[in-house]
Amino acid sequence: MKKNLRLVVSTVFLLLIFCNGMKAQKLVESVAGIVGNEVIYLSDVENNIAQARSSGDRTPEEQLRCRMFEDLLVSKLFLDQARIDSVIVTESSVEGEINLRLNDFIKRAGSEKALEEVFKKSMIEIKMDLKKSLLNQQTISEVQSKIADNISATPSDVKRYFQSIPKDSLPVIPEKVQLSIIQLDPPASEENKLEARQKLLNLRSRILAGESFSTLAVLYSEDPASAKQGGELGFMMKGQLEKEYADAAWALNKNSVSRIVETKYGFHIIQMIDRKGDMLDTRHILIRPKVKPDEAVKAIVKLDSIANKIRKDSITFSRAAILYSSHKDSRINGGKLVKSDPNARESWFSLEELDRETYVIARDMKIGEISKPFRMTDENGNTVFRIVKIDNQIPAHVADLKNDFQEIYTSTLNNKRSKTYQQWIDKKIGTTYIKISEEFKSCEYVNKGWLK
């Protein structure tokens, strides 16, 4: 079997990976290591180092190089197991994540050009590498889910885990609050909508006359994330988009431009870039209706009146939220705010989890206190007006079982899973063909047994 593997490796070195014109040119990429049927190229290590540096990692070069290489060794163990178990992850499952990650990288680097300089690659190549990385990450997650499928944590496990942590190593839990809100949206003025639509109509006319959609998106779109990419959203399935947007986009031919489409985010014009099966790549320009000063004043005055009635006990905060608030998720709970994550529908927030405007207001408030009305940008990017009431509060403190059971339970579960993964890794290293190049044999590895 080892002879066959060595034959495969020698073949890898001879692969023809680039052709230039009529004359083929052999480019041999350096192999840093082999794990089972998985190959680690030197470029893989360099890519990971570049990504770490772009994220602010300042570890000394040689130490970082060895750490990145061992991370790849471990990931290849899981990927080799995925091949054995026939675990398959489709490209469609990561398309939505690619643009989010890419936007984050660009933001950290400062610009697309700066990112290209960091990776020494074009944006197309960076995007291809990112897709491969995300596919690998999801594949690894599938394998890990199988390995830790039956792992659970009982209250006794949580207690034992907590008691095993040295007192001077217990984490400090930041201040947490429970709060209620009453939100008013500014009046949906037809004049404001008409102004937004007219601006889009002008932009659409310029595009149809020959101007670049992507250039105008950079200049005018009010969707900051996609505007940096010329309005491009990347490949998405219909269910990932707002219904009105999806319906209009799916009716377009390649490179054609839609009429104006209204969603909860505002008004859009859409251009279809490409279609792959059930997925569509589009770009858009978003214009939001603007709130006029007199409309803002009306909303503030109304909220101030509601707050005064609550303070005078003319109405409860809960009742006022049900009657007046436009925030659908909290209104049905009498204004109580809960996390939007469907897997964590809890009402405790650390101050850092709150949006910037609410954080500034809530950080100095006491239990039972109602804020003055304030203006903010909601989760859809639209201007709204709110008052906030602090329902409960836990000051910053050293972790304890009574107040922080959920956090400690999560840590207990993660600790049990980590131990299970480590046991699996140790066993897998012993039964897998592994070869490491001379360049990485001097590294001090966390896991033993790589060097055989």
Could you tell me if 125 and 267 lie in one domain? no
> What CA–CA distance (Å, rounded) separates 141 from 367?
42
What's the pLDDT at 359? Answer: 92
pLDDT of residue 407: 87
Amino acid making up residue 262: E
Q: What would the mean pLDDT of 93-119 be, rounded to a whole number? A: 76
Of 235, 265, 287, the domain-final residue: 287
**How much of the chain, in percent, has pLDDT values that exceed 90?**
63
Q: 142 and 205: one domain?
A: no
Instruction: Give the containing element (helix H, strand E) for 74.
Output: helix 61-85
pLDDT digits (tens, 9 = 90+) for 161-186: 999 999 999 999 999 999 999 999 88
Sign of CA dihedral 61, 62, 67, 68: positive
Q: What is the 3-state secondary structure (H, E, C) of 158-184?
A: HHHHHHHCCHHHCCEECCEEEEEEEEE
Same domain for 118 and 11? yes
32 and 49 both lie in a single domain: yes
End residue of a domain, out of 240, 256, 287? 287
CB neighbour class for 246 (10 Å; exposed up to 12, middle 13-18, buried from 19): buried
212 and 281 together in one domain? yes
H and E: helices and strands count for the chain: 16, 15
Entry pTM? 0.60
Q: Which domain holds residue 125?
A: 2-151+416-440
- Which pLDDT does position 21 carry in this prediction? 36
Residue 369 lies in a domain: yes
Q: How many domains does the chain have?
A: 3
Confidence category of residue 27, pLDDT binned at 50, 70, 90: very low
| CB of 153 closer than 8 Å to CB of 358 | no
Domain co-membership, 56 together with 178: no
The pLDDT tens digits for 123-133 are 888 888 888 88
Closest CA to 374 of 392, 362, 391, 390: 362
Amino acid code (one letter) for 88:
I
pLDDT, average across residues 431-444? 95
Q: Report yes or no on 451 lying in a domain.
A: no
How much is the average pLDDT of 374-402?
91
